Chains A and B, each alone.
Chain A
Amino acid sequence: MSLTPLHAIFALMSLFTVGGAVGVVLNRNLIYAAMYLVLSLFGIAGLFILLEAPFLAAVQILVYVGAISVLITITVMVTRCVFCKEPPPRQLTLVAVMAALVMVTLGFVIMTRFGGLTPAADVPADSIEQLGVAFVNPQAYLVPFEVASILLLGALIGAIFIARDDLPRDEEAVGGDDHA
C-alpha cells in the first residue's frame, strides 16, 4: 500500500481531532480548552470530507465549528471566573484507565470480528438531493424530522426559561454583571 496525499490529509485531520480532544481534557484554562474543542470539531469536519459526506461536513462546520463553539465560549465567559485555572481533576488516572479500557474493548471487537470489512458503495453524486427527499419521505425520516422540530421547540422554551432574568436573583448573580 503506497502512501497517497489522501493518507497525509487523513493523518493531519486525525491529529487535529485527537490532539484537540486531548487539549480540551488536559487544559486547565476553560477558554483555551474551548479553542482546542474548535480544532477538534474542525478535524472531524475534515474526516467527513474524506468520507465523502459533504453535507455532514457542512453541518459540522456550520453547527459545530460555527455555532456550538460560540455557545461554549460565551458560556465560559458567563461563568464566574473566566480565566481561572481549574485544579487538575482528582480522578484523571481512573478516568484515563476506564477510557483506555473501553477503547481496547471496542477496538478488539471491531478488529477481530470485522476482519472482512466490505468497502462501502460509492457515495452517489446527488446525496444531498436524496437526503432532502428522505427527510420528507415517511418511509425514511419524516417522523424524526417532525419530532426534531418539536424537540427544538422544547429546547427553545427551556433555554428561554432558564436564561430569562425576570426572577428574583441571588446577590451573586447581580454582582456578576454590574458592567452590563
Chain B
Amino acid sequence: MLVQQYLPIAILVLFAIIMALIVVFTSVIFGPHRPTKKKLAPYESGMTPIGPAVRRLPVRFYLVAVLFILFDVEIIFLLPYAVVIRQLGLYGLIATGVFVVILTVGLLYEWKKGGLDWE
C-alpha cells in the first residue's frame, strides 16, 4: 500500500510536534515563576516599548510573496517534465522551452521595472 510509504514522514511530524511541546512546556513547568509588571511587559532591547509591537509592513513584501508564488508554480509545472526529460527528447525540450521562455520574458520585465530592487 502506497500510503505506508509516508510512515517516516508521519513519524517525523509527530516527533517535531513532541519536541516543540517539550521545549515550550519544560520551562513553564519547571522554571521559577515570579511575575512583576515590568517582567510581563514586551521586550524591546531593554527599553520601555514605544507603540504597538505589530506594525504594517511595506507593500514590497507583498510583491516578493507574489513573485515567489508565480515562480513556485512554474517549478511545479516543470517538475513532472524533469522526471521524464530523457524520454521526451528534443520535442519535450521545445514544448517546455516555450513555457520557460514566456516566463523569462516576465522575469525580464520584472527586472527592468525594478521589481527585484528593494529600494
Please choose the segment from B16-24, B25-33, B40-48, B95-103 that sits at the chain A interface, where 4 or more of its residues have CB less than 8 A away: B95-103
B113→A152 contact, CB < 8 A: no
Query: Is A82's CB under 8 angstroms from B99's CB?
Result: no
* B65 in contact with A70 (CB, 8 Å): yes
Residue of A nearest to B56 (CB): A176
For the complex, give the distance between the alpha carbons of A120 and B79 in Å: 25
Residue B106 CB within 8 A of the other chain: yes
Residues of B within 8 A of A177 (CB): 56-59
B2/A123 in contact, CB under 8 A: yes
Among B54, B63, B64, B92, max chain A CB count under 10 A is at B63
Q: Please report whether the interface of chain A is mostly helix, strand, loop or mixed according to DSSP.
A: helix
Within the complex, which residue of A82, A159, A163 is in contact with B56, where a contact is CB–CB below 8 Å?
A82
Q: Which residues of A contact B106 (CB under 8 A)?
A: 152-153, 156-157
B73 to chain A, nearest CB (A): 6
CA distance A25 to B75 in the complex (A): 31
Q: Whole-angstrom distance between the alpha carbons of A46 and B65 in the complex?
A: 25
Q: Which of A60-68, A90-98, A102-110, A111-119 contacts B (4 or more CB under 8 A)?
A: A60-68
List B residues at the A interface (Cβ < 8 Å).
Answer: 2-3, 6, 52, 54-70, 72-77, 79-84, 87-88, 91-92, 95-96, 98-100, 102-103, 105-106, 109-110, 113-115
